[in-house]
Structure 1
Amino acid sequence: MTGGDEVTGDREDSVGRASRPRDVDLGRVWIGVAADVWRRRPGPLERLAGQVLRSPGLARALVTTPSLLLGWVIATVVVLGAGTLATLGTGAPYVALLAPAVAAAGIAYAYGPGIDPAWELSCSMAVSDRMVLLVRTLAVFGLNAALGLAASAASGAAMTVTFGWLVPMTAVCALALAAATVAQSANVGVAAGVAGWVITLMSGQAAAGRLTAAVTDSALMLPYLAFTACCAAIVLFATRTPRGTS
């Protein structure tokens, strides 16, 4: 290292020490975060998840998923419930149009940086980050699919509309997750997923003259699946373990 580099390094160290509050012990703060996350005794759902997954740490990471918390689930139920009432009142399949966007938002918020208090702790577990993300994503997707199907059945939608949105929902969720993992931002993932679904609906409206074309046109199913595969590849690449680390 040259003399100039040493001076620069010393200057940066001095600036870092100067900007760090002297009355804050970052080590104790981190210990406090870890204690707050892990001190809670496992509930019945977490114990069941631990038995199924055979990993208490992975079960804790699952139950701390932001989009699986009670408040988020209630909000999802409220949105889909409003869509059910609108469908019953107008006959338009609002549930099928809302469900993919709602699921995309939930999938984006299954990704941790910046929105999950247990993210750093989950990264320190023996389980890989990719496995944590996979388990969370499958759980969020399954919950949203079940709620969407229940809302569609309650609204009396046609069978093709009731199940037709599951494949496009998969594609939109994959887009949201890919954007969130690449940008490392849940908000970016939500924006990408919702915008992608709105564009898809508008394209169906322009091509077939109806919004439901995006969920009823069987010719779109293969493109949806191909797009899902591409987004899944992006997620796998973005969450890969850097070379030289374990």
Structure 2
Amino acid sequence: MNETPDLGRVWLGVAAQVWHRPPGRVERALAALLRSDGLARALLSTPSLLLPWLLASIAVLGAGTVASLATGTALVPLLAPVVAAAGIAYAYGPGVDPAYELTRTLPIGDRMVLLVRVPAVFGTDALLGLAASAASAHAAAVTFGWLVPMAAVSAFALAVATLTRSANTGVAAGLTAWCLAVLSARAVTGHAAAAVARPVLLVPYAVLAVVCAAVVLIGTSTPAAPGSGPAKRGWQ
């Protein structure tokens, strides 16, 4: 009579083999800072921080900079929230994270992985946006004004992705919300840049960011159980 293999134990063995890669200097520094080898490796495997994604983000913002110089319209502040929303929605989940199944074997929950990855993605995209804005004199007046709406759109995209367990749905929701905000601002003021330049909008953006952050924290409140492998609760 054939014995049924313990798939959970087999998976843990495979995961141990893959995660056995010796850590580099950057990973050791992150492990010391985060006080967790697993979190350090999870951070370095963030999809939105891998080279192809970073190059794509730079290409989008670079195109916005060139268009801004050519047309005299500040496009980078309008593109930066979109880039960040997509990057953060794709920060974690099956089908988008090459290390997702491996992170399911770590004795940490979704919340901890997101709390480490999201600030890193947001900070990276913010620096890219600042660099692109600085390259365009037309964007100087709104160089920092788009940071708050960027946080709001990113938090909204992540909240939708967390509730629906779908990064694609989160990105679609973030892009739709931002397009509506830009079109509404243009309809009211005649300028699309008003979506990031009007001080009166900062409070609603900030409130939206806080509410969506709370939704994400609640949605990822269930801790990960050590050793439960791929069957643990996660995005589907």
**TM-score range, shorter-chain basis?**
0.7 to 0.9
**Cα drift, residue 131 of structure 1:** 1.1
Stretch of structure 1 that moved more, 130-139 or 109-118: 109-118
What amino acid maps onto 2:30 in structure 1? Answer: A
| Equivalent residue, structure 1, for 2:70 | 89
| Equivalent residue, structure 1, for 2:230 | none
TM-score by length of 2: 0.86
What do residues 166-214 of structure 1 show as CA deviations (whole Å, max 9, x unaligned)? 0000000000100110011110111011111101000101111110010
* 1:77 maps to 2:46: no
Alignment of 1:98-113 (within 5 A): 98-113=79-94
Question: Could you tell me how far apart the structure 2 residues matched to 1:164 and 1:184 are?
Answer: 31
The SS at the match of 2:200 is helix
Question: Could you tell me how far apart the structure 1 residues matched to 2:77 and 2:112 are?
Answer: 30
Question: Could you tell me how far apart the structure 2 residues matched to 1:111 and 1:172 are?
Answer: 17
Question: Could you tell me how far apart the structure 1 residues matched to 2:106 and 2:120 are?
Answer: 19
Question: Could you tell me how far apart the structure 2 residues matched to 1:115 and 1:28 are?
Answer: 25
What do residues 45-101 of structure 1 show as CA deviations (whole Å, max 9, x unaligned)? 222211211111100011111111111011111111111111111111111111100
**How many residue pairs align between the two structures?**
221
| Equivalent residue, structure 1, for 2:217 | 236
Question: Could you tell me how far apart the structure 1 residues matched to 2:186 and 2:23 are?
Answer: 48
Measured on the aligned residues, the alpha-carbon RMSD in Å equals 2.1
Structure 1 unaligned regions, length at least 5: 1-23
**Structure with more contact order per residue of length (Cα contacts < 8 Å, sep ≥ 6):** 2
Question: Could you tell me how far apart the structure 2 residues matched to 1:122 and 1:137 are?
Answer: 16
Aligned partner (choices 1, 20, 23) of residue 42 of structure 1? 23
Cα pair distance change 1:195/1:55, threshold 3 Å: same
User: Which structure has more helix as a fraction of its residues?
Assistant: 1
Cα pair distance change 1:158/1:73, threshold 3 Å: closer
Question: Could you tell me how far apart the structure 2 residues matched to 1:81 and 1:209 are?
Answer: 25
Aligned partner (choices 93, 100, 116) of residue 97 of structure 2? 116
Larger Rg: 1
Structure 2 unaligned regions, length at least 5: 227-236
Among all aligned residue pairs of Structure 1 and Structure 2, give the percentage whose two residues are the same amino acid. Answer: 60
Stretch of structure 1 that moved more, 32-41 or 82-91: 32-41
